[in-house]
Amino acid sequence: MDRATYPGGVRAPAHKRTAETQVEALSVPARLVVPLSQSLGAPSRPIAQKGETVKKGQMIGRPDGYISAAVHAPTSGAVAGLERIIDAATGRPADAIAIEPDGDDAWTDGVGEPRPWQDLDADAIREAVADAGVVGMGGATFPTHVKLKPPKGKDVDTVLINGAECEPYLTCDYRVMLDRAEDIVTGLRLCMRATGAERGSICIEDNKPAAIACVREAVRSQDGCDVRVFQTKYPQGAEKQLILAGLGREVPTGGLPADVGVVVQNVQTACAVADAVVRGIPLIERVLTVSGDAAAVPGNFRVRIGTPVARLLAKADVADGFEELILGGPMMGKDQFTTDLYVTKGTSGILAMRRAAAGEGGPCIRCGACIRHCPSYLNPSRLSTLGESFLDGNLDAIDIAMDHGLMDCILCGVCAYVCPARRRIIHLIEMMRGERRKALQREREKEQAQKAERMREGEEVGL
């Protein structure tokens, strides 16, 4: 079997405890808290009033701007009001709409009925996807309708559906590929039509033979579509690495996949596209994995958006006294400081770990492991020492780091994973990026202030 791959990366223990666990559809919880900020870009604006009765699938948050996504009620019930919650992706406070379910779980009008979708054109597909509030469900949560509209002058010829699921522990995409192969292929075809691509591939790592067979069967009769098998290696599912491995194309620095004629969508996003266009169902639920070494009964669950994380931890029988809660995978997921969180469209995994892995890093001994494993061909050792140099007061360190590809890092964490000195390389890289953003912001403000000053002076002279 031809198994594509890319230079770098690491073969990490898979810990896929839940691979053979069927997806369990969880009942609607007693209370749902639906975050208004579930996509990259601006949070949506709440359009449901406190006390109002909403139906399942009714829009409760309207997109605010071009890069923003709609939010819908995951079940029918009464709006209990607007709440301040912690956004798991950023760790910062954010707005959410609390809903008290009425138990009917009744759809709003016109949802769930088959639509004449075979002849829809690209704009109609994008409109349906936007109306359904579909975002990238691999974790990046970029609004899908925006991704399906390639920038002017960029021809997209290939759509890749990302079923690599290279993060350890996570198995939700694998289960979805087994359960919903037909829908994934329909989603792929719709994405191809929306972007004008002639070819489409579903990309799966070779440690999932059942999924490969299942999706291959579903894709058999489709012209221009196929399944591509990739070596099992983290971060195989990283967008740029997937494109390089699958198509031999390298996304230019600072560029988008569209620059090399590619659009990449996660398998669950493809399902959501199919739901949205074929049946008019908005994105109100997803499949996620609850696992980790502190989870006694790990599993894959189909849950409504807004389901409390604490309920899922209880479902997996997570023992008290676990020390680390990760939302996402263990390689790129975010540690949480509270369990008072709610499932969003981008929540692929909830991991309860017994022991926090990271410790205090030692000095770099220049073993070069990070360089040999970096999928972006960077020198993470150098970037990390520049980060330390910045913390020691060398303000030029960030400019030097820019020359070493500070912005080209995909933050996959392979360097820190392989580092024998346990250096906190990604943390230092992120810190430098944050400092650079702040510096740019300060510069902009200064310029604006100077401009305003000049204008005032001009007015005075004019008087």
Partner 1 sequence: MASDAAQSGPQPAQAGLAVGHWPHLTGEETVAQIMWSVVAALVPAAVAAGYFFGIRAYLHISLAVGTAVITEAIITRLRLGKTTLRDGSAVVTGLLVAFCLPAQARWFVPIVASAVAIAIAKHCFGGLGCNIWNPALVGRAFVHISFPTDMNPSSWPVLTGDHFLGDVGTAVAGVPEGVQAVTGASPLALAKGIANQGYADVDVLKVLTDAHGRGLWEMAVGTVGGSIGETSALLLILGAIYLVYKGWVRWQVPLAYLATVVLGALLLPLYLAGGTGGTEPAAWQPILFAMPDVAPRFVLWHLLGGGLVLGALYMATDMVTSPITNRGMLIFGAGCGLLTILIRLYGGYPEAVCYSILLMNTATPLIDRWTQARIFGYKR
Q: Where in 248-277 is the site for partner 1 (CB under 8 A)? A: 250-255
Residue 201 near residue 189 (C-beta atoms within 8 A): no
Write down the least CB distance from residue 12 to partner 1, Å.
Answer: 6
Nearer to partner 1, 408 or 453 (CB): 408
Residue 234 DSSP label: B
Q: Hey, which residues between 11 and 30 contact partner 1 (CB under 8 A)?
A: 12-13
* Closest to 277 (Cα-Cα) out of 73, 74, 131: 131
Nearer to partner 1, 78 or 411 (CB): 411
* Closest to 316 (Cα-Cα) out of 330, 336, 300, 296: 296
Q: Which of 20, 52, 103, 377 binds partner 1 (CB under 8 A)?
A: 377
Q: Hey, which residues between 156 and 175 contact partner 1 (CB under 8 A)?
A: 168
Cα–Cα distance between 204 and 227 in angstroms, integer? 7
Q: Hey, which residues between 70 and 89 contact partner 1 (CB under 8 A)?
A: none
Cα–Cα distance between 100 and 282 in angstroms, integer? 19
Q: Which of 24, 104, 323, 445 binds partner 1 (CB under 8 A)?
A: 323
Q: Which of 23, 71, 312, 325 binds partner 1 (CB under 8 A)?
A: 325
Q: Hey, which residues between 177 and 206 contact partner 1 (CB under 8 A)?
A: none
Q: Is 240 in the site for partner 1 (CB under 8 A)?
A: yes
Strand pairing class (225-230; 199-205): parallel
Q: Is the backbone peptide bond immediately before 298 cis, with ω within 30 degrees of 0?
A: no
Q: Is 112 in the site for partner 1 (CB under 8 A)?
A: no
Residue 247 near residue 240 (C-beta atoms within 8 A): no
Nearer to partner 1, 80 or 371 (CB): 371
Sequence-distant (≥ 6) Cβ neighbours of residue 67 within 8 angstroms? 39, 40, 41, 42, 142, 143, 146
Write down the least CB distance from residue 35 to partner 1, Å.
Answer: 19
Nearer to partner 1, 284 or 332 (CB): 332
Sequence-distant (≥ 6) Cβ neighbours of residue 211 within 8 angstroms? 163, 174, 177, 178, 204
Q: Is 368 in the site for partner 1 (CB under 8 A)?
A: yes
Q: Hey, which residues between 382 and 441 contact partner 1 (CB under 8 A)?
A: 387, 391, 404-405, 408, 411, 413-414, 416-422, 424, 426-428, 430-431, 434-435
